[in-house]
Amino acid sequence: MSKTVLQLEGLEMAFGQIQVLRGVDLTVKEGESIAIIGPSGSGKSTLLRCLNRLETPTGGAVIFEGNRIDARSDFNRLRTHMGMVFQQFNLFPHMTALGNVIEAPIHVRKVSREVAEAEARLLLEKVGLREKADAYPRQLSGGQKQRVAIARCLAMQPRLLLLDEITSALDPELVGEVLDVVRDLARQGMTMLLVTHEMRFAREVADRIVFMDGGVVVEVGPPEEIFVRPKSERLRKFLKAVLEQTN
Ligand SMILES: Nc1ncnc2c1ncn2[C@@H]1O[C@H](COP(=O)(O)OP(=O)(O)OP(=O)(O)O)[C@@H](O)[C@H]1O
Ligand SMILES: [Mg+2]
């Protein structure tokens, strides 16, 4: 039985009067990759942001590696353990690819520049960008920038990866190279929660799919159950709408 990395118990989030998460329960085991799908506005990004405290949940519990996250937790440390990659790459524009990747290890993990650079070169190689170590973000394609962002995140040696629609801002022909990197990470046993609109990819790479609608988890299950035998009317409608869009 593998270890529980993350446990959510009745997680709630409200922005003023707007209740966005209405009691989310979820358990994530070590090595699992979980895809979160659901309509726009269903609370997927808010859920990820509540996990690493970019938002403060208004109710329920987030338990990471056995510790309940609360106001006294060290959020900076938490964010190094839970790495997050966004739709917009947020690279430092004035730093090279290598510079972007070594920044946090040097300043947060306190490793020497030599060690940080050696690790960063390996990570850039892992995401297929060995040749681009000295390039600045403006000299990189969207797919390359996103792969640098992933390498930068991995440089903090996260134990859980949060990926929020990381291919949504990319031209269609660049999506594949980023998904290849995510697929490799999943195979290597990285624990991850990924919000995605790429249903085919979710089906292929995820151990379990979480379908959210209206701030709750409506269904959770292995891909074949969710995509082939959806139980709820809401999920059937969502899948039908998504398939119509892509065909
Ligand atoms: N900072 C905020 N202030 C007020 N409302 C917010 C804020 N952030 C999100 N919301 C609202 O919360 C709801 C859920 O938003 P969220 O971004 O989590 O949805 P999502 O499932 O990620 O959607 P999408 O697929 O479009 O990215 C939306 O109705 C949104 O307007
Ligand atoms: Mg979102």
Per-residue pLDDT of the chain (247 residues; tens, 9 = 90+): 689 999 999 999 999 999 999 999 999 999 999 999 999 999 999 999 999 999 999 999 999 999 999 999 999 999 999 999 999 989 999 999 999 999 999 999 899 999 999 999 999 999 999 999 999 999 999 999 999 999 999 999 999 999 999 999 999 999 999 999 999 999 999 999 999 999 999 999 999 999 999 999 999 999 999 999 999 999 999 999 998 876 6
Q: CB neighbours (10 Å) of residue 25?
A: 14
Q: How far is the CA of 55 from the centre of ligand 1 (A)?
A: 12
Q: What pLDDT does 223 receive?
A: 97
Tens-place pLDDT, residues 110-129: 999 999 999 999 999 999 99
Which residues face 83 on adjacent strands?
161
Task: Please state, in angstroms and as integers, the Cα–Cα distance from residue 46 to each residue in 50, 96, 155, 203, following that order.
Answer: 6, 31, 25, 23
Q: What pLDDT does 245 receive?
A: 79
Q: How far is the CA of 46 from the centre of ligand 1 (A)?
A: 6
Q: How far is the CA of 160 from the centre of ligand 2 (A)?
A: 19
CA–CA distance, 140 with 12 (Å, rounded to integer): 39
Which residue puts its alpha carbon closest to atom 31 of ligand 1?
41
Indicate the residue type of 184: D
What's the whole-model pTM score? 0.95
Q: Ligand 1: which of 22, 36, 45 to mutate, most ligand atoms within 8 Å of CB?
A: 45
**Cα torsion at 170, 174, 177, 178 (round to 10°)?**
0
Which residues face 209 on adjacent strands?
35, 221
Ligand 1 neighbour 43 (Cβ under 6 A): yes
Q: Is 195 exposed, middle or buried (CB count within 10 Å of its CB: 0-12, 13-18, 19+)?
A: buried
Q: Which residues contact 199 (CB under 8 A, 6 or more apart)?
A: 37, 227, 239, 242, 243, 246
Q: How far is the CA of 110 from the centre of ligand 1 (A)?
A: 35
Q: What pLDDT does 247 receive?
A: 60
Find the radius of gyration of the CA atoms of the chain.
Answer: 18
Task: Please state, in angstroms and as integers, the Cα–Cα distance from residue 133 to each residue in 84, 98, 142, following that order.
Answer: 21, 5, 15
Q: What pLDDT does 178 receive?
A: 94
Ligand 1 neighbour 46 (Cβ under 6 A): yes
Indicate the residue type of 18: I
Helices (H), 25-67: 44-51
- Closest to 53 measured CA to CA, from 35, 73, 33, 38: 73
Nearest bound ligand to CA 37? 1
Q: What pLDDT does 243 receive?
A: 83
Is residue 10 left, alpha or beta, with left meaning phi > 0 and alpha meaning psi from -120 to 50?
left
